[in-house]
């Protein structure tokens, strides 16, 4: 049995033994510490010890193979730690065996988790729901349910496991569908309720009942055509509250106020669509709700917002030749911003804080301040507010409809399809006037905040 100082040179100097044999070098200063060389030339540091006297069995714990990170110096330190455990009668062999078992169990759990995640991926599970439940129990309506799932739900949740979908995600999707119409929101809600109800059913138990994100969500209201517009006082509060959101949502909300375009159309804006010298934004038909392109003149305030925005480029691996989407409102460079339900909640909270602060400063009583509320509103109401505001400023219906790319009434039918004159000059005049109106409203007195008070 060779002994000597275990160093890099001595370890690498141990000869490779014959086939089936092992060669050892034991350190002559740290008893029990050594290196083992196999017939394949592998060199490993180890510790050999007994617990319980001469009659106890000899045990060995492998520290690691020679080379990074295990050098003679680092292995010696680890050996000293293990031998200290032996001195305290804390068997390193048992600890190592427990660690190996724990690692093995963790790998099994991870594999099981990956299998469960794959089975519970929303698109996969929704497809199973249609095949196993909807086709069986909804003979007359399963096709409509399948269409809603494929059109409205799968594009949003994709491969996200059901266990990772939260109530805030559900609310955001329903609100987005609600911008298309109350019927779309209600149908989306019902489909989601059925899918998650199927998942938590006692006979199936794909998901614990406590994990059902639909449990506390009420169905969207059955409402007629919305007529909500914001007053100038409300518009002022939204503008100021948006400033507190910071980039990218603050500039986006303010751009919605000044342009009246749809939320997702503005959120998906790319730099290629913006012509800064001409101060305009060309929304392509491929991204618009009605399939028609819309040339949106940008007023001075809108241009100031756009020119102040950073350009975020996607982080790509070398050799990745995918096209750069060059999105305007993005934090990753790959996809546009989302999560508007949380943004809207922050806006409302900030608006209420501003209302209460200004009311208190104007001398309102504590009772009046506490009674202040923000009337329910949506980001889509900003669009209607602009249209109404432009008409109030004297611009005709056909111009305001051209501004917001709304096909109805005077622009419907053949006129809408074959109209070649797009009111470019009139739209710019309308949006410039609206921009000045918003600026005046924001700079105006806060004395009119009483107009948006609502009792609890």
Segment 174-217, tens digit of pLDDT: 988 887 778 889 999 999 999 999 998 877 777 888 889 998 88
Angle, vertex CA 311, rays to CA 307 and CA 313, nearest 5: 165
Residue 416, pLDDT > 70, answer no
Q: What is the DSSP letter of 330?
A: B
Q: pLDDT exceeding 90 applies to what percent of the chain?
A: 58
Structural domain for 197, as ranges: 120-211
pLDDT of residue 320: 78
Q: Sorting pLDDT into bands at 50, 70 and 90, what band is 412?
A: very low
| 35 & 164 share domain | no
| 170 & 240 share domain | no
| 343 & 406 share domain | yes
pLDDT of residue 371: 93
Q: How far apart, in Å, are the Cα atoms of 411 and each of 3, 230, 352? A: 96, 25, 39
Residue 264 lies in a domain: yes
| 198 & 265 share domain | no
Question: For the residues 223-248, what does the mean pLDDT come to?
Answer: 87
| 400 & 304 share domain | yes
| 189 & 278 share domain | no
Residue 220 lies in a domain: no
Show which of 180, 211, 242 is a domain's final residue.
Answer: 211
Residue 432 lies in a domain: yes
Angstrom distance (rounded) from CA 371 to CA 376: 15
| 252 & 175 share domain | no
| 38 & 67 share domain | yes
Q: Sorting pLDDT into bands at 50, 70 and 90, what band is 108?
A: low
Q: Report yes or no: 415 and 406 within 8 Å, Cβ to Cβ.
A: no
Show which of 152, 179, 211 is a domain's final residue.
Answer: 211
Q: pLDDT digit string (tens) for 427-456?
A: 999 999 999 999 999 998 544 443 333 332
Name the residue among 115, 105, 104, 149 with its Cα closest to residue 130. 149
Residue 52, pLDDT > 60, answer yes
**Assigned token pair, 336:** 């546009």
Q: How many domains does the chain have?
A: 3
**Assigned token pair, 37:** 């060389």
Q: Sorting pLDDT into bands at 50, 70 and 90, what band is 328?
A: very high
The helices-and-strands tally (H runs, E runs) of the chain is: 19, 8
Q: pLDDT digit string (tens) for 299-326?
A: 999 999 999 999 998 877 777 777 778 9
Angstrom distance (rounded) from CA 339 to CA 364: 35
Residue 222, pLDDT > 70, answer no
pLDDT of residue 438: 97
Instruction: Look at 356 and 101; give whichever has higher pLDDT.
Output: 356
- In terms of pTM, does the model score above 0.75? no
Residue 154, pLDDT > 80, answer yes
Q: Report yes or no: 281 and 403 within 8 Å, Cβ to Cβ.
A: no
Residue 286 lies in a domain: yes
Q: Which residues pair with 412 in a beta bridge?
A: none
**Sheet bearing 274-275, strands edge to edge:** 274-275, 280-283, 294-297
Residue 135 lies in a domain: yes
Angstrom distance (rounded) from CA 226 to CA 300: 30
Name, in order, each residue with C-beta under 8 angstroms of 180's C-beta and a sequence gap of 6 or more. Answer: 289
Q: How far apart, in Å, are the Cα atoms of 15 and each of 5, 25, 72, 92, 181? A: 16, 10, 17, 29, 80
**Assigned token pair, 445:** 């007195």
Residue 272, pLDDT > 50, answer yes
Q: pLDDT digit string (tens) for 354-398?
A: 999 999 999 999 999 999 999 888 898 999 999 999 999 999 999
| 321 & 422 share domain | yes
| 385 & 424 share domain | yes
Residue 218 lies in a domain: no
| 349 & 323 share domain | yes
Angstrom distance (rounded) from CA 180 to CA 449: 31
Q: Report yes or no: 283 and 405 within 8 Å, Cβ to Cβ.
A: yes
Residue 440 lies in a domain: yes
CATH of the domain at 148: 1.10.150
CATH of the domain at 40: 3.30.160.390
Show which of 83, 110, 137 is a domain's final residue.
Answer: 110
| 244 & 325 share domain | yes
pLDDT of residue 348: 93
Residue 127 lies in a domain: yes
Q: Out of 167-171, 268-272, 315-319, 416-420, pick the least confident.
A: 416-420
- When the pLDDT of each residue in the chain is averaged and rounded to a whole number, the result is 86
Residue 112, pLDDT > 60, answer no
CATH of the domain at 252: 1.10.443.10
């Amino acid at each position: 049995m060779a002994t000597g100082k275990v160093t890099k040179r001595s370890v690498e100097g141990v000869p490779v033994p014959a086939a089936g044999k092992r060669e050892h070098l034991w350190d002559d200063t740290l008893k029990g510490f050594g290196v083992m060389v196999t017939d394949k030339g592998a060199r490993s540091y180890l510790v050999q010890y007994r617990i319980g006297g001469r009659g106890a069995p000899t045990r060995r714990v492998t520290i690691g193979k020679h080379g990074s990170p295990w050098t003679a110096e680092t292995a010696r330190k680890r050996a000293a730690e293990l031998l200290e455990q032996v001195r305290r009668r804390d068997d390193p062999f048992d600890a190592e065996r427990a660690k190996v078992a724990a690692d093995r169990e963790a790998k099994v759990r991870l594999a099981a988790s990956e299998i469960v995640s794959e089975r519970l991926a929303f698109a996969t599970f929704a497809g199973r729901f249609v095949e196993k439940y909807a086709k069986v129990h909804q003979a007359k309506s399963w096709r409509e349910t399948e269409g809603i799932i494929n059109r409205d739900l799968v594009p949003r949740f994709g491969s996200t496991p059901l266990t990772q979908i939260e109530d805030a995600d559900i609310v955001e999707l329903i609100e987005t569908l609600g911008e298309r119409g109350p019927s779309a929101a209600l149908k989306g809600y019902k489909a989601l309720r059925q899918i998650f109800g199927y998942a938590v059913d006692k006979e199936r138990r794909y998901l614990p009942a406590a994990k059902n994100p639909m449990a506390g969500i009420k169905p969207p209201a059955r409402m007629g055509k919305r007529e909500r517009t914001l007053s100038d006082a409300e518009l002022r509060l939204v503008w100021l509250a948006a400033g507190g959101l910071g980039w990218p949502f603050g500039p986006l909300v303010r751009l919605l106020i000044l342009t009246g375009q749809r939320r997702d159309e503005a959120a998906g804006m790319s730099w290629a669509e913006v012509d800064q010298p001409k101060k305009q934004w060309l929304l392509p038909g491929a991204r618009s709700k009605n399939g028609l392109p819309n040339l949106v003149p940008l007023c001075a305030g809108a241009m100031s917002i756009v020119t102040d925005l950073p350009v975020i480029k996607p982080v790509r691996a070398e050799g990745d030749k995918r096209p750069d989407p060059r999105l305007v409102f993005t934090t990753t460079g790959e996809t546009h911003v989302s999560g508007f339900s949380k943004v809207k909640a922050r806006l409302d909270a900030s608006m209420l804080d501003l209302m209460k602060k200004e009311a208190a400063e104007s001398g309102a009583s504590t009772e009046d301040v506490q009674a202040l509320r923000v009337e329910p509103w949506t980001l889509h109401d900003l669009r209607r507010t602009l249209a109404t505001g432009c008409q109030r400023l004297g611009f005709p219906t056909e111009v305001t409809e051209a501004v917001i790319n709304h096909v109805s009434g005077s622009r419907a039918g053949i006129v809408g399809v074959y109209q070649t004159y797009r009111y470019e000059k009139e739209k710019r005049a309308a949006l410039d006037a609206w921009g000045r109106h918003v600026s005046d409203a924001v700079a105006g007195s806060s004395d009119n905040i009483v107009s948006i008070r609502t009792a609890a």
